[in-house]
Amino acid sequence: MKIIIASDHAGYELKEKIISQFQKEFEFDNYGPFSSESVDYPDYAHPVADKITKGEYEYGILICGTGNGIGMTANKHAGIRAALCWNKEIAALARQHNNANVLVLPARFIAENDAFEVVKTFFSTSFEGGRHQRRVEKIDIH
């Protein structure tokens, strides 16, 4: 599976650790940043969301300090269902019930091992469809 991943400066270190931890399971396209120098999260969230909505990637990971800013930005794009996840139960439900296609992590509020568990769970859980499909179809404004 090929995953696009990006962060802001607060998420840089966790992003790099995730890439290192999962490099055998996933192929990552690291959209940046490439240092912990201060950057603006929309400069990374918008291109990642664009690439997913264009079908270049099925899934993405976005990381910032709280996860809020980068997730809010990504969710401005029709077709993006970015889910802020801080434990594996939330990650599983984001996939099962919401068909989330972007995992958002709060770098300053999640332990490294918990983040790894969230990534594993998110990408090993399938969308249940059924009654949830109808709800997902109502998310985007048409």
Measured on CA atoms in the order 90, 91, 94, 97, is the torsion positive or negative? negative
Q: Which two tokens stand for residue 44?
A: 């990374």
Instruction: Out of 9, 64, 77, 85, pick the active-site residue.
Output: 64
Whether 97 sits among the annotated catalytic residues: the reply is yes
Alpha helices in 1-138 (DSSP H): 12-21, 42-53, 68-74, 88-98, 112-124, 131-137
Whether 142 sits among the annotated catalytic residues: the reply is no
Instruction: Out of 85, 97, 132, 142, pick the active-site residue.
Output: 97
59 contacts 52 by C-beta, under 8 angstroms: yes
Report CA Rg, the chain: 14
Instruction: Write out the catalytic residue numbers.
Output: 64, 97
